[in-house]
Amino acid sequence: MRILVIGNGAREHALAYSLSRDSQVTEVHVSPGNAGMSAIANVHPEGDPVDLAREVDADLIVIGPEIPLVAGVADDLREAGFAVFGPSAQAAQIEGSKKFAKDVMERAGVKTARAEQVAVGASTEEIDAALAHFGPMYVVKDDGLAGGKGVVVTDSLDAAREHIEAVHAGGNPVLLESFLDGPEVSLFCLVDGETVVPLLPAQDHKRVGDNDEGPNTGGMGAYTPLPWLPEDGVQRIVDEVVQPVASQMVADGVPFNGLLYAGLAWGSEGPSVVEFNCRFGDPETQAVLEMLESPLGQALYATATGTLSELQALEWKDGYALTVVLAAEGYPEAPKTGAPITGAEAGSEAQGVRAAGVKAAEDGAGLVSSGGRVLNVVATGATLEEARDKAYEQLRKIEMPGGHYRSDIALPAVEGRITV
């Protein structure tokens, strides 16, 4: 199988690396990719996906990010006759429009936060009237794509109002939601119409600083599985959340095909949906795929070709995986680029490196930073504490001026401070 991966981050690096280890995959191509992937994949410049798929004679195209999915790239590729892992533009609205997702969940009877949309152009009086329906914790979401950074959770009425105004200034409506308590869970599921196959549950760390301080980011680290999740937790999420939504989308004439990501809060009554995404999450993917024993290419191909129900049960390694993000100076507000990186280069996959915002240095020697989240380090262990220790040990061998990372990824779980 020749596989083309669309995207350029650490998620796509993790996908390409896992695919390269599948005995049935003969070639892995990535576009636009990054210089850190060049040892395990053929990296192509950004261009027309259909033209590139034809050029490499792809048997399967895997679309990583949400932006091309919402834009309909999967539809263009399917129309050209290719097998595609990723939903149609219509189905990708489960992430592209929070209101679309809320409407689907309401029809499917899935528990989620109470929500109210505040349209662009709303007056100050209308905004204040909407905010009065919520609190004392305000959840203010950009009702569009925001790379995981379009939500503010605050007990400050002024901060909530400011975020509404900022989102409106960008041309998007806002969704106000009631606050859901309880620890967060990310569950990825392969979905082919009404067939749902869950992967391992993970937990992301969104805030930039230790102890969940500072602004939201695209994700600063993640771990899997979750030692605090009830034994029947994954099955409950499938039965109460993902399966009803998948079935509802089929009934609505908008079947989902690809990776459906349920972001949930596990409260006193079990799982409630915070959000849905239409693709693999970043950085959870880096940890989850590190635990997968089954061939990834075969699983994605079965999903793309409508044969997921015939796929053998997925097999997983024992133990835990954890990933930590190394971010650029100034991230997330104003990341600085161009910093030289030592201790990580193309071909560092076995050391746990998954590259994101990197490019080749001008002199061709090594990598320099080119984005906010620069790279991940992922490690496994028999215990979560061991995986954590190994990841940080490896990360400390990597140097980048101004770089920073969280020192507490999974620490609350290791110390038994998460309960449901």
b/e per residue, 363-401, with b = 16+ CB within 10 A? Answer: eeebbbbbbbbbbbbbbbbeebbbbbebbbebbeebebe
Q: How far apart are CA 1 and CA 4, in angstroms?
A: 10
Please state which CATH class domain 2-89 belongs to.
Answer: alpha beta
List, for residues 123-168, the tens digit of each pLDDT value: 999 999 999 998 888 999 888 776 666 788 899 999 999 999 989 9
DSSP code for 396: T
List, for residues 355-402, the tens digit of each pLDDT value: 999 999 998 889 999 999 999 999 999 999 999 999 999 999 999 999
Overall fold of domain 114-178: Dna Ligase; domain 1 (3.30.1490)
Q: How far apart are CA 1 and CA 298, in angstroms?
A: 9
Give 393-400 contacts, CB < 8 A, sequence gap 24+. 394/351, 394/352, 395/324, 395/326, 397/343, 398/326, 398/341, 398/342, 398/343, 398/344, 398/353, 399/341, 399/342, 399/343, 400/326, 400/328, 400/339, 400/340, 400/341, 400/342, 400/369, 400/374
The pTM score is 0.91
The phi and psi torsions of 173 (rounded to 5 degrees) equal -70, 170
Superfamily of domain 184-415: ATP-grasp fold, B domain (3.30.470.20)
- Where in the chain are the domains? 2-89, 114-178, 184-415
> What are the start-end ranges of the E strands in 114-249?
115-118, 138-142, 151-154, 174-177, 184-192, 195-204, 207-209, 213-216, 221-224
Q: What is the structure's pLDDT at 146?
A: 67
Question: Residue 145 pairs with which residues in a beta bridge?
Answer: none
Q: What is the structure's pLDDT at 147?
A: 64
Average pLDDT, the chain: 95
Cα-based distances in Å from 389 to 32, 84, 383, 396, 418: 33, 38, 10, 11, 19
Region 217-226: what's the mean pLDDT?
Answer: 97
Q: What is the dihedral of CA 74, 77, 78, 81, to 10 degrees?
A: -160
Region 68-72: what's the mean pLDDT?
Answer: 98
How is residue 77 written in tokens? Answer: 């590729």
